[in-house]
Amino acid sequence: MNSKMPHCLSSFLLAGAAVALGSFALTRAASVPVEDLVDPFMGTGFDASEHDLGSCMPGPCLPHASIYPSPETLEPPPSGYRPNQPIVGFAQLHTQGTGGNPSYGNFLVTPRRGLAINEVDRASGKSHEVARAYSYSVHLTKDDIEAEVVPSAHSALYRFTFPAADDAHLTIDVARKIGGALALDEGSVDVDPVTGAISGGGLFSRNWNPAPYKVFFAARVSQAPSAFGTWADQDVSAGGTHAAIRGRPLGAYLRFKTAPGQPVYLKIAVSFTSVEQANRWLDAEIPAWDFAGLRATAAAAWRKELSAITIAGAPAEEQRIFYTALWHSFVQPRDRTGDLPGFDPRQPIWDDHYTLWDTWQTLFPLLAIIRPDVVRDNVNAFIHRHRHNADGYVAEAFIQGKEFKVGQGGNETDNVIGDAYAKGIAGIDWTEAYAVMKNHADTVRTPHYRERGWMASDEVHDYSHRIRSGSATLGYAYNDFLTAQVAQGLGHGDDAARYLARSANWRNVWDDSLTSDGFRGFVRARAKSGKFSTTIATKGYGTDFYEGTCWAYSFNVPHDVPAMIEKMGGREVFLSRLQHALQKGYIDFGNEPSFMTPWLFDQVGRPYLASYWADILRRRYSGINLPGDDDSGAMSSFYIFLTAGIFPVAGTNVYYLHGARVPEVVFQLPDGKKFTVIGENAGPSSPYVQSATLNGVPLERPKIDHASITAGGTLRFVMGPRPSAWGTGGDFDAGAAAKETATTALAP
């Protein structure tokens, strides 16, 4: 879901990002708890052109928790945080690695000496910034204040240590969002004059999902304030206990007399239902002012979650990147069961899908291995939403409890369901899940696609302003293929035949006449008349496709690769074309449409080229950089597969192989079994598979299936510095392979 065009990832980091990285120790003892291997500053960097390299937040959270407290800065990216900018406070809701219009940043808590109700006045320089998966602390230099926070599921506990002062203030801005913009349409705030408890909220909008939504908070402090008040617009009411306003600034403040070393604690909970529910979260999750105890609880939660995968034999830097990627993979989507109005509190409801277009290829397949219960609950939440919605449409984006019809490539909800079905995820009513897919296939895909076989560039529809003829037709065709697989498995033969026939619709946007760089035949947009667009093959971003070009999307037919190869002129031409596309930078590794592309080499007997390009991609995770926006953990979960040496074809039970990048990766399966990946000789200088065995049996083809993983056992790679004949079926020329893997990599 990148909001910008691809950019060169060799750009240097600015000083602020480098300072953030410097706060994380790169050399760690083997006995360091796994949760302390996480570096939350990873993904917060940016390059010399101000492009974000991850768009992540450094604040702490719990796995899939509703709340995500984190510092915010002046001049922020969509995440809300930029390392080289002053901190304006700590908001309670954030997204993970998204671009575009910022979401959330609600209920900003700011400690200051003196009252500051404007964003610029709140800003402070910082030092000693320390981020962990489970806690965050920073010294705010402007007023000599130590600020710390630890999270729970719907709440957070702050500890503010002021110098000796009689003008220590805590403010809660009720109306703003990330960047200080107004987000409150209508709301109120209340202050208890005795205890200093503050509560409020109301109707908000202006998120990435523009739909209005309600959200509320309840906050309590550890000591009674010496003074308090509210503000509405720019009018401060000293001693005010209630304020309400529409579309203007709104907030409340508390004043304290403080002594050195005596902290003021604030605990705050957020609810999408009511202030009363927020107070119930506070009572249940943070009953005391035990900062150390809550910190230990959060650390233990991450220790358990991150132990789902262990690596051995990797250097400290590798461990830092790997476990941070795994941490990011557990942030979104968010479990908001029991806290979204209108939904049955007894049924699972998972929120903040930004969007399934980003997460279906890597995040959900990773969870299918280590947390199938999360996949189960998300599919069951899709069923819940299908029943709840009048039109039955389960949108690809579901944010702040609201559907957002913003499909980017097709109906990716179907891809998540199809992947879960192919992998046998238990605990799902497949008849109900199939009803979701069938409704999308028969009523949601655009009319011209359903009637004529391609999404026309000039058809009138209400599907999504982001949808484009080329990318939509390819996406819908894959949706139809997966719907056919589920239909066949459930005994709906007629449906299966119909949808399988429709899955060939990708051919309808394949223009055999388009040529580029000596190659013929590419996907591009097509009008209702049947006429193709005049887009050249290196273009199409935003016109024919959502975030991609003719070159990139023409490799995006995962369910019909043999036919795609035939369209391109056969195997030899295909190999030359794919290698050329990668060398020329026509494939954008930092964006989701190209995630599966390098593993096409495995499907045509060139696994050493899959290894080569996977290695190039993996190197782009360095310092605090990601290859692109993390997009709800999509980019991070991608890294886990790159390291483990296996890559899923989401929607199927197949994993293609490129070889382990560390000596050992162990997937701790939920039933107590282990799936171990061994990389003999693995390291930066040995990226190529020399041989492979599964449970001692030689593997001749570069793929395994999901059952081989869930059964437990050992996948063993012998790695080496040069390409080998492994997986080529005997079609191997060492000299040619050496040339193919010695080319200059120009991919963006």
pLDDT, tens digit, 9 for 90 and up, residues 26-54? 334 458 999 999 999 999 998 877 778 89
Smallest CA-to-CA distance from 219 within 172, 262, 263 is with 172
Amino acid type, 717: F
Q: Which residues contact 346 (CB under 8 A, 6 or more apart)?
A: none
Structure tokens at 178: 């990330």
Structure tokens at 4: 């910008």
Q: Concatenated DSSP letters for 704-719?
A: EEHHHHHT-EEEEEEE
Structure tokens at 644: 């483990």
Q: Taking a C-beta distance cutoff of 8 angstroms, is the pair 158, 138 a contact? A: no
pLDDT at 18: 38
A 10 A CB-CB count for 660 gives: 27
Q: Is 636 left (phi over 0), alpha (psi -120 to 50) or beta?
A: alpha
CA dist 448 and 502 (Å) reads 13
pLDDT at 1: 52
Burial grade of 56 (CB within 10 A; 0-12, 13-18, 19 or more): buried
Chain Cα centroid distance, residue 357: 10
Q: Taking a C-beta distance cutoff of 8 angstroms, is the pair 153, 67 a contact? A: yes
What are 56-59's contacts with CB under 8 Å, separation 24+?
Answer: 56/96, 56/97, 56/328, 56/626, 56/630, 57/81, 57/94, 57/96, 58/20, 58/129, 58/131, 58/136, 59/90, 59/94, 59/131, 59/136, 59/149, 59/151
CA dist 178 and 172 (Å) reads 14
Burial grade of 10 (CB within 10 A; 0-12, 13-18, 19 or more): exposed
β-sheet bridge partners, residue 170:
111, 254
pLDDT at 494: 98
Smallest CA-to-CA distance from 458 within 443, 471, 448 is with 448
Smallest CA-to-CA distance from 519 within 579, 573, 586, 562 is with 573
pTM of this prediction? 0.95
pLDDT at 29: 44
Backbone phi and psi for residue 688, each to the nearest 5 degrees, phi listed first = -110, 140
pLDDT at 270: 98
Smallest CA-to-CA distance from 657 within 616, 696, 609, 622 is with 609
CA dist 286 and 460 (Å) reads 52
CA dist 76 and 56 (Å) reads 11
Q: Which residues contact 18 (CB under 8 A, 6 or more apart)?
A: 623
CA atoms within 13 A on the CB side of 577: 27
Burial grade of 236 (CB within 10 A; 0-12, 13-18, 19 or more): middle
Q: Are strands 155-161 and 165-173 parallel, antiparallel or unpaired?
A: unpaired
- Cα dist from 601 to 66, 549, 556, 645, 702, whole Å: 40, 20, 13, 14, 10
Smallest CA-to-CA distance from 358 within 306, 402, 413 is with 413
- Cα dist from 223 to 189, 219, 237, 620, whole Å: 20, 12, 21, 48
Structure tokens at 397: 């984006």
Q: Which residues contact 207 (CB under 8 A, 6 or more apart)?
A: 101, 102, 103, 104, 177, 183, 213, 399, 400
CA atoms within 13 A on the CB side of 509: 36
pLDDT at 736: 95
Domain spans in the chain, listed from the N-terminal domain onward: 36-44+57-305
CATH match of 36-44+57-305 with 2.70.98.10:
yes
Helix axes 469-489, 493-502, angle to 10 degrees: 160
Cα-Cα-Cα-Cα dihedral sign, residues 343, 345, 347, 349: positive
CA dist 738 and 612 (Å) reads 11
pLDDT at 26: 36
Query: For the chain, which ranges sit under pLDDT 50?
Result: 2-29, 746-748
Smallest CA-to-CA distance from 579 within 589, 587, 570, 590 is with 587
Q: Taking a C-beta distance cutoff of 8 angstroms, is the pair 171, 158 a contact? A: no
Q: In the structure, how many helices (H) and strands (E) does the chain have?
A: 20, 33
Show the beta-strand stretches assigned E in 623-669. 646-648, 654-657, 664-668
Q: Taking a C-beta distance cutoff of 8 angstroms, is the pair 353, 406 a contact? A: no
At 106 the three-state DSSP class reads: coil
Q: State the DSSP code for 597.
A: G
A 10 A CB-CB count for 48 gives: 11
Structure tokens at 590: 């930092």
Helix axes 412-422, 363-370, angle to 10 degrees: 30
pLDDT at 49: 74
CA dist 541 and 527 (Å) reads 17
Max CA separation in the chain (angstroms): 83
- The alpha-carbon radius of gyration of the chain (Å, integer) is 26
Q: Are strands 227-232 and 250-258 parallel, antiparallel or unpaired?
A: antiparallel
Chain Cα centroid distance, residue 700: 34
